[in-house]
A = this chain, B = another copy of it.
């Protein structure tokens, strides 16, 4: 499965150092080993060490002080925007952040066999395919490829897509979403996604595939989402519920959800049911 086609040594070292910094194995503001030391430690030349450090510096993870050393930067080591498992961005309003959507492409295509099966449709059925990029504070954080059956897609315009969440559009047109499955994984950035998300090809991406079904069991939306993990991640709070042998973990979101059903108006944004990671002041 593995071996052959080695990534460049500089890339390897870059990934290694990056990992150590992100995991906190090297403290913030601490000095890294000197370039000659790193070169000897990893059995590479100083040029290679230098390339790795260049990359880290351009990522804003380290700061180089000539004559003194290179140090781990405080700022950039942390904290993407988080979403709960229902894919709802949290703490956005209160942080005064603004999101936007860019429509990359929009077309009608024939369903591939795989796509038809996932949506439980007839193979070859026409689908509306749209590619969008979501932005936060002007910076892209997600790359979304959506497939919707043609007849359903007709109920809204191309312009609607660039301004309104797709699920809202679907429900507005009378459809009733009943169930959805989501699968979360990881993949490497290909050329298109890398370009749209302002990343290097081969960067790590968080993926989510969601299929939404109406009550009849037919799929009404297929979403393939790619997220920049440094700007977006999934967050879930779990509570230990039940007693004795039947104790198990329950997502706290579910609790909050049932609380909110009889509470349409006041949205409790002061809740903090579980400790959050925070950056130091």
Q: List B contacts of A224 (CB < 8 A).
A: 23
Rounded to whole angstroms, the CA-CA distance of A273 and B194 in the bound complex is: 36
With an 8 A cutoff between CB atoms, is A199 at the interface? yes
Rounded to whole angstroms, the CA-CA distance of A243 and B5 in the bound complex is: 55
In the complex formed, the residue of B with least CB distance to A23 is B224
Rounded to whole angstroms, the CA-CA distance of A189 and B254 in the bound complex is: 33
The complex is assembled from copies of this chain, and their number is: 2
Q: List B contacts of A204 (CB < 8 A).
A: 186-188, 204-205
Rounded to whole angstroms, the CA-CA distance of A27 and B124 in the bound complex is: 12
Cβ of A204 to closest chain B Cβ, rounded Å: 4
Given A1-B58, A181-B237, A236-B181: A257 and B264 interface contact (C-beta under 8 Å): no
In the complex formed, the residue of B with least CB distance to A191 is B16
Q: List B contacts of A12 (CB < 8 A).
A: 191, 201-202
Q: List B contacts of A188 (CB < 8 A).
A: 15, 18-19, 203-204
Q: Is the CB of B24 within 8 A of A112?
A: yes
With an 8 A cutoff between CB atoms, is A22 at the interface? yes
Closest CB pairs A-B (n = 3): A254-B254, A24-B114, A19-B190
